[in-house]
Chains A and B, each alone.
Chain A
Amino acid sequence: MNGQKIRRAVSGLTVWVLASAVLGGQTAGRSGGPPQTEGAQIQQVRVALGHGQAAEARRLAAAIPGAAGRDFASALVDIFEGKDHEARPKLEPLARVNIVGDAALELGLLEIRHGEREQGWRRLDPIAAVRTFAGPDDYYRLARAARGIHEYLLANDAYNKVQNVARADIQAEWGDMQLQRHKPEEAGPSYRQALAADPAWIPAMVGLARALVDESPEQADALMVKAQKQAPNDPNVWLFAAEQQIQREDKKGAVEALDKLAAARPDTVDEFALRAVVAYANHDAAGVEAALAKLATIDKRSALGLRRLGEQSAREYRFEDAADFARKATAHDPDDPFAFFDLGLYLMRTGDEAGARLALERSWKLDNSSKATKNLLDLLDDIDARPNAVSPMETITSGDLILKFSRKQAAVLKTYAVPLAEEAMKTFTDRYQFTPKGPILIEVFPAHDQFAVRTMAFPGIVGALGACFGQVVAMDSPTARDPGEFSWQATLWHELAHVYTLQLSKYRVPRWLTEGISVFEEHRRQPAWGRELTLEFADTFGRGRNFGVRKLPDAFKDPSKLALAYFEASLLVEHLVALNGDAGLRTLLLAYGDGARDADAFARAFGKSVDDVETSFKAFLDQRYSALSKALADPPSKVDPANLGALRLRAQEAPGNFASQHALGVALVKAGQLNEARAPLERAAQLAPEASGDDSPHAILAVIAEKSGDTARARRELRALLTHDHANVNAARKLASLSTDPSAGADLDFALRLVADLDPFDTNVHGQLGRRLFAEGQYQPALTEFRAALALGPPNLAEAYTDIGETLFKLGRTPEAKRQTILALEQAPTYVRAQDLLLAILGKH
């Protein structure tokens, strides 16, 4: 069936305006006098349904004088209420009279809903082939028919023709199609346009809530509250409510919502697909089977139940299971492009990129209009370095690790990433006494949007730096963001910790725990990592707005709280480790893996109740953050930032208040009183040494010291700043530039190391750092730096090869040393240093 489909477009064809409209006149949401035509009367029924007023719609339908119009309108209400069996006999005679009319459309869609796909497609095909348009209804009818037969581009063309029409029904359905096709950013405006045309249009409210739920859950909730209030029995409302409860792991709430859906619109595939999901979440295999069996009685061709189960498995980070469900879905409905897309997406998350490509190519064949599918296939072309790849990648294997980097970046990144990943694996294997299932695939993308596509199939997720799917890690490379914006090494460490927590817990670890452990592991590897939000947290804590043990899981569901939730989770993990060591943490993960709930898991791991831990955690936070949070309190009074006298007075009155000291210091600097600025800034630095950025006390003190010629002091301040502000590459570069004095070797080493870590594509740093490490006898790290320098295209190849050869010789790797030295001499045959090295390697001293 699909193989015979031909891409058709509305645009470009001659538009014939019919003299008489079939259903003209009233538009959805438009109020006015009594309806003049049958079409307008039917439209009133549609409007009532759009407002969730089924009874009113029924009343309006019954009042239509003409039998045909009355039957059709009545069928619309039947469909709304899930009474397809009653709608069908009303629609069939009307569809025979006009095979391209509204009744035929509704009947075709009804047939597809009930698995009579060929019949439904045959009925919709002529409607989608119509090219005579008298008004928006004709485009709308064509769009719905085209969508029904998976002609999405055609449907979109038709919707585009009516994009400025103020019709809530049209715009909301266009939004639905965009949402179905993973385009919430395009669906949102359509829904908003629908609500502008009719603020009471329930499908638009529900649709907009769906589009916003990830980005702005508060707005989504507000829309749903409004929708439920206006239309408490609308099935669309309860369907979305059920989806939401499932997302929020509220299975009881989900069942309640599904019951309400069933009452409003019984026997839908949507309902039973979600009932299967709830049963799956409850580990109720029989319930899953029962729900799927019931779904099959409605539409035996539908793979929706299996797809939903795949989504739920993926939500639970069980990507193997998700792929299994998606695979079953593709077998069940080989014409469903979404099922193949899901399979491709999940297989990418399991690391089976070859299998993913096959599935995605099949999806593309079924629907070559899907941006999501194209994104993933394009990315796979890059990953597989196909000839048409835009940014081909290179694969490096190390034991159980498979690392993929952009070909242009591989030479540099592998010198850093491979040893770091190996170190992480060894550290975590020892710490958690667990060897994860491999291979572990690590993909490092040079552009953030590539990472986003790898993760979600679409560009975006700007806040995310990396993702772990258990055996697959995807992340931003240092070039994906501006230097200094993040530490890519901390990200790699973080994501690899997830490999252990996910696998050790059989993918059942709660999000707060896996994120908390990953952030805490960052901190263990490097004290400044994972502690970037210390001041923000202390401030929040001081205001009593932190989450605590019980509320932490919910904080992870709110994007606005996410950053602090990560931070507090890491503190909780630190506290848990203090309670019972790494063994306790491991036990906790195993307990969750066994399906234990919090109370049981905490008891097994720490011998304490959740409340006990809540109490001890509070004490832990008090002990650590009370002083800092006190220092970060609001200043005692508001003062004009230019009024030095008032600022001085306030600073004297509040010596323990960071803001008061800092504001005075900043004002004095602005006034050119650098010497006077030192004292309040020093005080501020003592009160909150974790303050970071160019306006932090240490950063300003460094500037003052440099201006006054006190380079040693400037270096001290920068070192203090970088102790916490670990990703501040500009401060590190500044420190390096101030460390030319031989006595500043330690500072220079520190600064160069940090610059090389944060911005490994800095062409100047590696050779310099390598030479310092070599001079200190640190040959292996020096080799890493020299190799990175070579990979970046050094100004002098002969020197670069000789550096490497010399280091390899020191490491006793004589054959490699000789090879590198000869490479140097190929560049520069008379290069004395290389000649002497060659002779030394050959023992010809």
Chain B
Amino acid sequence: MRRLLTWSLCAVAIALAGVRPAAAQARFAVIVQGASGDPQYATQHRGWVDGLAKVLRERLGIDGAHLFLLTEEARAGELKSTAENVKVTLAGIAKTAKADDLVFVMLIGHGGGDGPAAKFNLVGPDLTGEEWSALLQPISARLAVVDSTSLSFAYLAGLAGKNRVIITATGKFGEKYHTFFPEAFITALTATEADADKNGRVSLLEAFTYASRLVAQHYEQVGYLSTETAMIDDNGDGKGRSAAQTGDDGPVAALTYLDAVAMPTSSDPAIQALLTRQQQLTEQVDDLRRRRAAMTPEEFDRDFEKLIIELATVSRDVRKRTGK
């Protein structure tokens, strides 16, 4: 038991070691709108695509050249969401994106088929789970895939892997009804309330957690039993967990952001020293939080309090000196 725990902690540490300041990352985003099958869904799905594209571009600062829209009715600058276009797009990104970059893919539409063989409905022939996996395989960058459709659960195990965050709107093979998750997730990406750690940014884990909450509230309000349970996997085992569950999945997603924030700097050496110290303390606090499971509560409390008081003091001094 103890050995297993040690291994697990090491695995997390290795995974996190790959995280680096976002400012140096290139970020790619692919939105795929599948076949809607119904004018009502066509309108709704297109609305989600446009909403997400706007958020990615305007709020999260994704470079327009790195934002790929594959849609049911392609407009200027977009591609039709066929299997072929998906292949071309992902192959292109695989060539461009580097290991330290981030590739975000979100599927919007319907799932089809049964159980593990369920597929995302493209325009024209669909891609199997294995095909999607093969297309994503060459991408060395951190990969975040959100399959927001019904029957998406099949993709959780199919796409999971090292350095990947996989989110699906459904958590069982039987969850086959149209989902509310896409709307909730897009809302969550920029919701102040979603920012659980109050650092001014919404990580993928925070977006997932908040979106899951919105989904639950949605079903409560409409008075129906929920027919979707979103899942997240970022440890690569393909099992995942829901927002209500605890488990190993989450640490990578917690440090994965779709936006980029440049490290603040100052020409004033005194302020720069404070900023550097602030960053060091923040990293020490994060490190301490990650090591918590291996510490006694007393040890954690003692070390945390010491660090957090200093961090609070330094942060206050930074604000005083910079006026921010």
Q: Is the CB of B198 within 8 A of A836?
A: no
Q: Is the CB of B196 within 8 A of A835?
A: no
Q: Is the CB of A829 within 8 A of B282?
A: yes
Q: Is the CB of B198 within 8 A of A830?
A: yes
B 197-217 to A, binary, CB cutoff 8 A, 1 in contact else 0:
111100000000010010001
Q: Which B residues, 268 to 324, have Cβ-Cβ distances below 8 Å to chain A? A: 282, 285-286, 289, 301, 304-305, 308-309, 311-313, 315-316, 319
Q: Is the CB of B308 within 8 A of A825?
A: yes
Q: Is the interface of B mostly helix, strand, loop or mixed?
A: helix
Judged by a CB distance under 8 angstroms, whether B58 is at the interface is: no
Residues of B within 8 A of A434 (CB): none
Q: Is the CB of B198 within 8 A of A828?
A: yes
Contact of A795 among B193, B286, B311 (CB under 8 A): B193
Given A822-B305, A829-B282, A830-B282, A796 contacting B196 (CB threshold 8 A): yes
Minimum CB–CB distance from A762 to chain B (whole Å) comes to 11
Residues of A within 8 A of B199 (CB): 828-831
Q: Is the CB of B311 within 8 A of A829?
A: yes
Contact of A829 among B194, B197, B301, B313 (CB under 8 A): B197
Residues of B within 8 A of A839 (CB): 309, 312-313, 316
Judged by a CB distance under 8 angstroms, whether A412 is at the interface is: no
Q: Is the CB of B315 within 8 A of A835?
A: yes
Given A829-B308, A830-B199, A832-B198, A796 contacting B193 (CB threshold 8 A): yes
Bound-complex Cα distance A842 to B313 (A): 11
B 78-112 to A, binary, CB cutoff 8 A, 1 in contact else 0:
00000000000000000000000000000000000
Judged by a CB distance under 8 angstroms, whether A834 is at the interface is: yes
Q: Is the CB of B312 within 8 A of A799?
A: no
Judged by a CB distance under 8 angstroms, whether A616 is at the interface is: no
Minimum CB–CB distance from A827 to chain B (whole Å) comes to 6
Interface residues on B, range: 20 to 34
Minimum CB–CB distance from A759 to chain B (whole Å) comes to 12
Bound-complex Cα distance A826 to B289 (A): 8
How many chain A residues touch B (CB < 8 A): the figure is 23
Q: Is the CB of B311 within 8 A of A835?
A: yes
Closest to B217 in A: A763
Minimum CB–CB distance from A223 to chain B (whole Å) comes to 44
Q: Is the interface of A mostly helix, strand, loop or mixed?
A: helix
Q: Is the CB of B196 within 8 A of A829?
A: no
Closest to B285 in A: A829
Bound-complex Cα distance A836 to B213 (A): 29
Q: Is the CB of A827 within 8 A of B282?
A: no
Bound-complex Cα distance A795 to B316 (A): 26
Residues of B within 8 A of A798 (CB): 196-198
Minimum CB–CB distance from A815 to chain B (whole Å) comes to 12
Q: Is the CB of B210 within 8 A of A795?
A: yes
Q: Is the CB of A827 within 8 A of B311?
A: no
Closest to A797 in B: B196
Q: Is the CB of A836 within 8 A of B196?
A: no
Residues of B within 8 A of A825 (CB): 304, 308, 312
Contact of B316 among A763, A827, A831, A835 (CB under 8 A): A835
Q: Is the CB of A830 within 8 A of B210?
A: no
Minimum CB–CB distance from A733 to chain B (whole Å) comes to 12
Closest to A818 in B: B305
Minimum CB–CB distance from B104 to chain A (whole Å) comes to 23
Residues of A within 8 A of B313 (CB): 839, 844
Residues of A within 8 A of B309 (CB): 838-839, 842, 844
Interface centre among A825, A834, A838, A839 (most CB of B within 10 A): A825
Given A795-B210, A822-B304, A830-B282, A836 contacting B312 (CB threshold 8 A): yes
Closest to B292 in A: A826
Minimum CB–CB distance from A381 to chain B (whole Å) comes to 25
Bound-complex Cα distance A281 to B196 (A): 66
Bound-complex Cα distance A763 to B312 (A): 31
Residues of B within 8 A of A796 (CB): 193, 195-196, 198
Minimum CB–CB distance from A833 to chain B (whole Å) comes to 8
Bound-complex Cα distance A835 to B199 (A): 12
Q: Is the CB of A828 within 8 A of B196?
A: yes
Residues of B within 8 A of A822 (CB): 301, 304-305, 308
Closest to A842 in B: B309
A–B Cβ pairs within 8 angstroms, 25 of them? A795-B193, A795-B210, A797-B196, A822-B304, A822-B305, A827-B198, A828-B196, A828-B198, A829-B197, A829-B286, A829-B308, A830-B197, A830-B199, A830-B311, A831-B198, A831-B199, A832-B319, A833-B198, A834-B198, A835-B308, A835-B316, A836-B316, A838-B312, A839-B313, A844-B313
Chain A residues packing against B (C-beta within 8 Å):
763, 795-799, 822, 825-836, 838-839, 842, 844
Sample of 15 further A-B pairs with CB below 8 A, known A828-B197, A830-B199, A836-B312: A763-B217, A796-B196, A822-B304, A822-B308, A825-B308, A826-B304, A827-B198, A828-B199, A829-B197, A829-B286, A829-B311, A830-B200, A830-B282, A839-B313, A839-B316
Q: Which 6 pairs between the two chains have the least Cβ-Cβ distance?
A: A831-B198, A835-B312, A828-B198, A828-B197, A829-B285, A830-B199
